[in-house]
Amino acid sequence: MKTLLLSLLVSCSIAATTPAAAQKQKATSGNPILPEFHADPEIMYSHQTGRFYIYSTTDGAPGWGGYYFTVFSSADLTDWHHEGIMLDLGTEQVPWATGNAWAPAIIEREVDGHYRYYFYYSGHCAEANRKAIGVAVADTPTGPFCDLGHPLVNSRPQGVRGGQQIDVDVFHDPVSGKDYLYWGNGYMAGAELGHDLMSIDTTTITVLTPQGGTLQDYAYREAPYVFYRNGLYYFLWSVDDTGAANYHVAYGTSTSPLGPIRVADKPVILQQDPSQEIYGTAHNSILQLPGTDEWYIVYHRINKDYLPREKGPGFHRQVCIDRMEFNADGTIRPVKPTHTGVKAVKVKKNKRARK
């Protein structure tokens, strides 16, 4: 696999990223933070560049028909710069997929001073005629990325009936040093990744779907997201349909990255606020500001002008960011979705970070 990875990188002519132009710092980010329509946001801080990056579903196409991924970057979480298309499922760049570029995840890995980025995503597999999860790799956060050439996950876990192989998340466990992949619409699955981060140890595939609940609290639908804090693994997921004003985020915790999950006593941590004309707040990723206990939640909400069902609320979504805080006992405080967003942040850069 190491030889394959090297050949993939060489054949894709990986290039260095172009730094974004300096911008005047805003007081707050405002919400939404990205222009036009984007959804299912994945946020990452790069130690190589000292910048934040957001990858998302390109929204606005009927039937969730977007076929490429773009990336935006920021030095402070307030000013976001469009870095361009970094993976295109409509070209030979991804030979196995024909479209439905949905819900990505990314992880940065440093080995011997060299950085590499592993990008996981959903696409429509033409050969199998179903959704599948792929992986692509690059040497910079903006690419170009080179696809593995075939799906990484192309079927449901054994015993699962119904649901799609979409909404992927990748997680590095700071306790064991292992990496995990999570995915699933209609079910939640998790598994250990191989050391190359481009394969899965199929013997570890575990169905983690939280059981019970209703559409008003924690009934699992999709979009698993996992992070670690103070001895606990936090599992977040989305409830209801992405086109529903009620689309919201619930959570549970575990002492293991593969569960079982204990649903929180007060599981709903992000939901609509009709008084502010904020609707459909879910499908999130989480950012811990490096070197701190400051946390942020990045999510999408439905553009209020497209809320009526006939206008397609499910594919007219916009990316937002707000602070996320914890109680003394480790439970997550409910997040108040805002139009203001967050204040500018400053991260102490890695000495090797490129400006």
Domain annotation for the chain: domains and CATH numbers: 38-324 (2.115.10.20)
Contact 101, 354 (CB under 8 A): no
Q: What is the pLDDT of residue 259?
A: 96
> Which pTM value belongs to this model?
0.92
Angle ∠(17,21,26) on CA atoms, nearest 5? 125
**Cα-based distances in Å from 81 to 33, 70, 289:** 10, 11, 19
Q: What is the pLDDT of residue 348?
A: 81
Omega within 30 of 0 (cis) for the link into 144: yes
Beta strands in the chain (DSSP E): 38-46, 51-58, 68-74, 81-88, 102-111, 114-125, 130-138, 146-147, 169-172, 179-183, 189-192, 206-207, 222-229, 232-239, 248-254, 262-270, 279-288, 295-302, 317-324
Angle ∠(197,200,202) on CA atoms, nearest 5? 165
Q: What is the pLDDT of residue 8?
A: 52
SS3 286: strand
Give the pLDDT means over successive 10-residue stretches in the chain (355 positions).
Answer: 48 44 72 98 97 97 94 98 96 95 97 94 95 98 96 95 96 98 98 97 98 98 98 98 98 98 98 98 98 98 97 97 98 98 88 43
